[in-house]
A = this chain, B = another copy of it.
Amino acid sequence: MTVQTNEQLQDELDALNAQITKQGSAVRELKKAGDADAVAEAVAKLQALKINAAEMGKSLVSDEPEFNRKAFDELVLRKMFVVPSFEIHGGVKGLFDLGPPACSLKAAMIDLWRKHFVLAESMLEMECTCLTPEAVLKTSGHVDRFTDLMVKDPQTAECFRADKLLEDAIDSLLEANPTMPVEEREDHLRIQRQADAFSPTELDELLIKYDCKGPSGEAYTPSFPFNLMFKTSIGPEGTSVGYLRPETAQGLFVNYRRLLDLNAGKMPFAAAQIGLGFRNEIAPRSGLLRVREFCMGEIEHFVNPKDKSHPNFKSVTDKELVLFGRDDQLGSGKTKTIACGEAVESGLINNETLAYFMARTQLYMEKIGMDPQRLRFRQHLATEMAHYAADCWDLEIKSSYGWQECVGHADRACYDLEVHSRATKTSMVATQKVDPPQEMEVAKLKFDRKLLGQAFKGDQRVVSGMLESLAESWTDFEPIATKLENDGKTTVEGFEITKEMMTWTKQKKTVHEIKFTPSVIEPSFGMGRILYSLLEHSFYQRESDEQRVVMRFTPQVAPEKCAVLPISSNPECNEIVDDIARDLMDSDLATRVDKSTAAIGRRYSRSDELGIPFAVTVDFDTLNDGTVTLRERDSTVQVRLPKNDINYLLFQIVHSRMTWEDVMKKYPVVSTGDDTEVAAEDAVTVVEQTSRGAFRRPAQPK
């Protein structure tokens, strides 16, 4: 509903802005004509339109979920979800520690990630080292190109990221000019969206154009590339350069040969890794969203470059995704909601495997409780993508810091395997059965090994392997043949081949298997960013009392599933509490016991702050009839049930086989609404099942 309204509003606003542009130009015409009265009238009309638009813009914004940063930050720090690292020593920008509740939330997120991706599809998980020798990152291109453009203040020598300065300058400009015509505004936004894709010269010009100045008031130095990797030295001799990996992917690429063998040579297959990455950000900011040490989860799906279908694609064809395609970013500025299957068919998403992973990512986000209204997939602009990449889509999550890339989905073609193959002279070729065998046109090659050896020495096998791989399809080989016939030579992947090096014949061949260097489809998760976004999406204040803050973690991802509280310090009560807690823990349902003397409402609040979805209370009735109350966090509704049912119920809910609705149908509801009002020892009223419609339902993000 709200989305609809918002969209309608946006459409009206767009129309209004067009009117303003039109009226503005009318005013200019009238001024030229010198008709003072008419000008005054037109200007009044223009101003009225602008006021209208500003008002409309406001209600557009206020339709977003409210976010109380002060209350949120207070909770995050007090409960030690996230704290600045080395705080008592003054801290370090861009480094944060996870405290107890975030630590277990992260463990739960990673556990679900493993189940959802790794286990569900038998991916091969690895754990590679962070320390990486220079040769590997030279090969991958990181030593030469993993840079951000940096400028300095010429007086203070303070360093800044040039593209972020540009983005900020455009933000300030737009803020200072709320009535800027839509088209002009869009021009600025287009520049802003491409900020990290400009060349140093282009950026320097734009910084001047937008009048960016350093803290000293002087213009910045020209921009220059700054490598974002942390450098160190491995070994006692001090001669061997190493870096902290900026991503986990390289460890999987260099292990590809062994992984393929372990997979018995079968294609396609995927490898995965969860681990730390390090980037020496020039200007860390936005809380946990841009930090210098972070947890990533990466998947490398190796696939035949000519057949990027996915065996499980049919399970997601109908899954709708919010897509912000390249054309829309440069055009309408609006996203489209399209089913996965349709997006592939229409060519918007390049291939099935890429779309499959995008849908799986969306499902993962929904499973961990991310607000689906604040998720979208943004396609990389042509200028953002590496030359070899086939297509890239970022899952962006909206938080109070705006839309942020949290999961990249890139079809990196054969680039990664090929560069390592060339640098190490290791074959990265895979074979795949053709079933049933097909008759195909191929080129049959015969090499002059001597000539080849003289020309390429140690690279001889790489070159011949490459040519043989091309020769498997006449269509692929024909352009090379033509070139050699006509010019006597040609260049393949940087090697110059001459006509004398080989002869070939076009043949028909029944092909039983094909050989290829696999393409890599890479979903890459920034787990820290996802964690932070989830904290924001989960946070809310109770309508009844703003002081009572809640984390809305789903039972599946909540780090602790249940709180168990005795109503009194009676030893018999305590014993039952311990028994229930031990039972739950034995079934891997993490449980928190709170035997403190605080009022029961206060203890519920404490468990709400940690996002514990359920609370079991042992009271004096428990001693008589063995029943306890079970409270659901968001609705604060309680049911009464035998204590021995708790374990089974919670296990079923946590494993998504049952819902709280089912529980309410099965057991009598004994309390509703604001439980701070419910005196602990009160005989609680049994509410009729029929009145359940009146209960406040779990608050859902708007």
* Residues of B with C-beta under 8 A to A586: 655, 657
Interface pair A254/B86, CB less than 8 Å apart: yes
CA distance A524 to B566 in the complex (A): 35
CA distance A254 to B107 in the complex (A): 23
Nearest CB of chain B from residue A123's CB, rounded to whole Å? 8
* Residues of B with C-beta under 8 A to A95: 129, 131
CA distance A157 to B87 in the complex (A): 42
> Closest chain B residue to A264 by CB distance?
B596
Interface pair A126/B97, CB less than 8 Å apart: yes
* Residues of B with C-beta under 8 A to A375: none
CA distance A103 to B128 in the complex (A): 10
CA distance A128 to B127 in the complex (A): 19
Point out which of A93, A235, A257 has the most chain B C-beta atoms below 10 A from its C-beta. Answer: A235
Main secondary structure of the interface of A (DSSP, over half): mixed
* Residues of B with C-beta under 8 A to A93: 235
> Closest chain B residue to A148 by CB distance?
B236
| Cβ contact of A292, chosen from B97, B106, B131, B588, cutoff 8 A | B131
Query: Taking the complex as formed, is A83 at the interface, i.e. its CB lies under 8 A from any CB of chain B?
Result: yes
| Interface-located stretch among A133-141, A317-325, A569-577 | A133-141
Interface pair B85/A98, CB less than 8 Å apart: no
Nearest CB of chain B from residue A15's CB, rounded to whole Å? 46
| Cβ contact of A97, chosen from B90, B129, B588, cutoff 8 A | B129
Q: Could you give, for residues 275-289 of chain A, a 1 whenever the CB lies within 8 Å of some chain B CB and a 0 otherwise?
A: 010101010000000
CA distance A85 to B282 in the complex (A): 29
Interface pair B293/A130, CB less than 8 Å apart: yes
> Closest chain B residue to A253 by CB distance?
B88
| A212-267 with Cβ < 8 A to chain B | 226, 230-237, 240, 242, 244, 251, 254-255, 257-259, 262, 264
* Residues of B with C-beta under 8 A to A254: 86-89
Interface pair B130/A276, CB less than 8 Å apart: yes
Query: Taking the complex as formed, is A361 at the interface, i.e. its CB lies under 8 A from any CB of chain B?
Result: no
| Cβ contact of A255, chosen from B97, B126, B233, B585, cutoff 8 A | B97
| Cβ contact of A125, chosen from B100, B231, B234, B655, cutoff 8 A | B100
> Closest chain B residue to A79 by CB distance?
B262
CA distance A99 to B126 in the complex (A): 5
Known contacts A88-B426, A133-B92, A235-B93, A114 near B119 by CB under 8 Å: no
Nearest CB of chain B from residue A94's CB, rounded to whole Å? 8
CA distance A124 to B293 in the complex (A): 22
* Residues of B with C-beta under 8 A to A588: 115, 588, 655
Nearest CB of chain B from residue A394's CB, rounded to whole Å? 25
Interface pair A231/B234, CB less than 8 Å apart: no
Nearest CB of chain B from residue A145's CB, rounded to whole Å? 17
* Residues of B with C-beta under 8 A to A102: 127
Interface pair A89/B133, CB less than 8 Å apart: yes
Interface pair B233/A230, CB less than 8 Å apart: yes
Query: Taking the complex as formed, is A393 at the interface, i.e. its CB lies under 8 A from any CB of chain B?
Result: no
| Cβ contact of A89, chosen from B79, B136, B157, cutoff 8 A | B136
Nearest CB of chain B from residue A655's CB, rounded to whole Å? 6
Interface pair A119/B590, CB less than 8 Å apart: yes
Query: Taking the complex as formed, is A538 at the interface, i.e. its CB lies under 8 A from any CB of chain B?
Result: no
Query: Taking the complex as formed, is A50 at the interface, i.e. its CB lies under 8 A from any CB of chain B?
Result: no
15 new A-B pairs (CB below 8 Å) besides A97-B128, A98-B126, A130-B276? A79-B262, A83-B255, A86-B136, A87-B255, A88-B254, A88-B420, A89-B424, A92-B234, A92-B242, A99-B262, A107-B114, A159-B237, A230-B242, A235-B280, A236-B280
A–B complex contacts, Cβ < 8 Å, 6 sampled: A80-B124, A88-B257, A88-B426, A97-B129, A230-B233, A236-B282
